[in-house]
Amino acid sequence: MAGELLRIATAGSVDDGKSTLIGRLLYDSKSIFTDQLEAIERTSASRGDEFADLSLLTDGLRAEREQGITIDVAYRYFSTPERKFIIADSPGHVQYTRNMVTGASTADLAIILIDARKGVLEQTRRHAFLSSLLGIPHLTICVNKMDLVDYSQERFEEIRDEFIAFSAKLEVGDLTFIPISALQGDNVVTRSAAMDWYEGRPLLGHLENVYISSDRNLIDARFGVQYVIRPQRSDGLDHRGYAGTISGGSFSVGDKVVVLPSGFGTTIKRLWGPGGRELTEAFAPMAMSMELSDEIDIVRGDMIVRPTTGRTWTGTWTRWCAGSPRPAR
């Protein structure tokens, strides 16, 4: 498992502590630099905070720092001797739910935070449903701010039972519950002495040990377009190329494919891997570029699939794209 990459998305309602949790993970695992910590301490002091606000590690936009909220999806990278991690801090506000979908679209595991005082809210259910819809195989429910409910085992179990009842309607293969206090560091990197009734691993230990090798979907071929490469004389492209990461299945030169949401069909003319190496086949989770036989209007955010996959995904994809403007080229 050493060196294996785990992609994590965080979700939850407003002020559940997502940014603080990520900051605590980075801080306690010694994954931040001294100058970063000093900058956080200065900013916290200037705002009148009594302690270093670790959520500032992920709140990169000026509006986020000033308002104390998350707007954009912030990605942070860290590692331990057991595993490498990419963690996405997604916004909790209803109007930024689409940003959460962006952060969760490639995740192996989703951490959904619940404020121990508030319990399971509508936005909590919404994010759990979206995680299930996106096919994230592992959900970790962190009941945060346990310090504000006196580390009550009864409160934790009440929230756990309510979420389990709701999740029965979802397709969730692996569901884990962890009581934490991101602010105090309880059960984040090390076990909490205040919650000796909890017998499971702390969050980082769970993330290091969750098994993901069998999660890759090698059947349903899906390729999300992340960048459009315009033809240039120097690169030998006859048509536009499309760069991205294969999220499921495999593609070969000559395969028939369908572009979603437009539904237009074509075939794969050429494939390239990292470094410009030409390929005859590419498979998940490879990053690669694709050239198609026909000129089709394709933009960043479109999905290229094989026809059988297209029939499965068209309805869901169309519903999500309904009313959404296509990104500017």
pLDDT digits (tens, 9 = 90+) for 52-109: 666 666 654 334 344 444 445 667 888 888 899 988 877 655 555 566 666 677 788 9
Distance CA 160, CA 146 (A): 13
Question: What pLDDT is recorded for position 271?
Answer: 94
Distance CA 31, CA 162 (A): 35
> DSSP letter string over 119-134?
-S-HHHHHHHHHHHHT
* The overall pTM is greater than 0.85: no
Question: What pLDDT is recorded for position 93?
Answer: 53
Q: Following CA atoms 126, 160, 140, 127 in sequence, which dihedral angle do they give, to the nearest 10 degrees?
A: 0
What are the boundaries of each domain within the chain? 4-209, 222-321
What count of residues does the chain have? 329
Is the bond into 261 cis (omega within 30 degrees of 0)?
A: yes
Question: What pLDDT is recorded for position 212?
Answer: 80
β-bridge pairing 138-144 and 109-115: parallel
Distance CA 209, CA 225 (A): 31
User: Residue 234, Cβ neighbours under 10 Å: how many?
Assistant: 6
Question: What pLDDT is recorded for position 312?
Answer: 46
Q: Please name the CATH architecture into which domain 4-209 falls.
A: 3-Layer(aba) Sandwich (3.40)
Question: What pLDDT is recorded for position 286?
Answer: 85
pLDDT < 70 regions, the chain: 1-3, 33-37, 40-41, 43-44, 49-74, 91-103, 213-218, 232-239, 308-329
Homologous superfamily of domain range 222-321: Translation factors (2.40.30.10)
Question: What pLDDT is recorded for position 158?
Answer: 97
Strand runs (DSSP E) across the chain, as ranges? 4-12, 74-79, 83-89, 109-115, 138-144, 174-179, 222-229, 241-248, 250-252, 256-260, 265-272, 278-279, 281-283, 287-292, 303-305
CA 74 from chain centre, in angstroms, equals 10
Distance CA 24, CA 143 (A): 15
The one-letter amino acid at 7: R
Question: What pLDDT is recorded for position 209?
Answer: 93
Question: What pLDDT is recorded for position 22?
Answer: 84
Handedness of CA 317, 327, 258, 228 (dihedral sign): negative
